[in-house]
Amino acid sequence: MRIKIGIIGFSKTLENLVSHIFENIDYIKFKHQFSIHITFYYNGINHMINEKGLKPDEVLEAIRGSLTTEEDDITFVREINNLPSRIKESKARIVIVSLPQLLKKQNYKLLKKLLENKIDIITTNKNEVVENIDELEDIAEYNNLFFSYIPALNLITPIGDLLENISSSFEIHGFEGIFNRFTNIIISEMIKNKSSVKEEVEFLKEIFPEHKELISEDLNGYDSACTAFLLARKYMTGNIKFEDIKIMGIENLNYEKIKKVVESGNSVKLLGKASYEDEILKIRVTPSIISKEHNFYNINDMSEAINIFSDFPTNTFFVAKGSDNIERDVALSIYRELIKYSIYTLKKFEH
């Protein structure tokens, strides 16, 4: 079977994804029994040129040069106006959408139009999904589509896999998690250096200049709230709207404000929490005191973690080890979703 994949956007994440796919193409063919054709849809806007200054066609030519067979290939389409219709005509089975957040309104319209054209989607554009989730999921369900969303900074895929496995056999009553790697290391460094969040943010921006916007993204708790919301919506029972989430960030946090907490042997983490209160699903994001006995206490690097509370005999704890190569981590999450999609497609065709 041959799967035609459309990719809308151009970034280091998508470069990493394409490279990873073709590095593993022999394994994909053997294990999952399909070959791949990828088409990049590119409109020539500057944000779709990567940070090295290379144009998409130059990068794709370099990747294409490393391919060992003619049946696996990538192509490059520029300046497409009616994108959903063009993709449908090309018979692409699934589209990966990874576009800058500054185009949020246009991105939402594009996702909606793709679903209306009965095209399966994997997207990293979590903001657009969170703010329009009922409408987008309704369209996907009505058209019997594969619709997967991956928050761009979070290793949500392995955490989601864990929740899916538990929820298939046990009822999930709640969870708490460290959902943003930058926020976690900012607080950890602030405590170690007895400084402030603002100071640590500036220092981190010097280390990761290419991620300046991402470093600040969760200071107000928004990114953690997005992840908690998407996980709760998918794996817990209850209807909750994003605007109902209580969010408190860490923008104004400094060591002096938590000095007594730290001196008493505790720590502080920004947690996203979901639980039932009087049988109503509630989500909140807030800086929380973490005791030495808590399994989050020693998570001080660029990792994410979750405690899952369910009918399972013991609570489930999971750590998703992050790295400073965010683009690769997100690319691997997309790759995992593509493998899930191949299994979904095979089952769909069997029926």
Domain ranges in the chain with CATH number 3.30.360.10: 156-321
- pLDDT band of residue 46 (cuts 50, 70, 90) is very low
pLDDT tens, 242-252?
999 999 999 99
CB atoms within 10 A of CB 308: 24
Whole-number average pLDDT of the chain: 81
The pLDDT, as a whole number, for residue 144 is: 92
Share of residues in the chain with pLDDT > 70 (%) = 80
User: DSSP label at 153?
Assistant: T
**Architecture in CATH of 156-321:** 2-Layer Sandwich (3.30)
CA distance 305 to 158: 11
DSSP annotation string for 238-299: S---GGG-EE---TT-BHHHHHHHHHTT-EEEEEEEEEEETTEEEEEEEEEEE-TTSTTTT-
- Residue 230, Cβ density class (10 Å: 0-12 exposed, 13-18 middle, ≥19 buried): buried
pLDDT tens, 12-37?
777 788 878 878 777 777 666 667 77
- Residue 22, Cβ density class (10 Å: 0-12 exposed, 13-18 middle, ≥19 buried): buried
Residue 48 has pLDDT above 50, yes or no: no
pTM here is: 0.81
The C-alpha angle 275, 276, 281, rounded to 5 degrees, equals: 90
| pLDDT: which is higher, 98 or 114 | 114
Domain ranges in the chain with CATH number 3.40.50.720: 2-153+327-350
- pLDDT band of residue 286 (cuts 50, 70, 90) is very high
CA distance 223 to 218: 5
Share of residues in the chain with pLDDT > 90 (%) = 34
pLDDT tens, 188-200?
999 999 999 999 9
CA distance 23 to 17: 10
Residue 213 has pLDDT above 70, yes or no: yes
Residue 80 has pLDDT above 70, yes or no: no
- Residue 349, Cβ density class (10 Å: 0-12 exposed, 13-18 middle, ≥19 buried): exposed
CATH code of the region 2-153+327-350: 3.40.50.720
The pLDDT, as a whole number, for residue 79 is: 52
CA distance 97 to 126: 11
| pLDDT: which is higher, 136 or 74 | 136
Residue 62 has pLDDT above 80, yes or no: no
The pLDDT, as a whole number, for residue 152 is: 46
311 contacts 329 by C-beta, under 8 angstroms: no
The pLDDT, as a whole number, for residue 345 is: 72
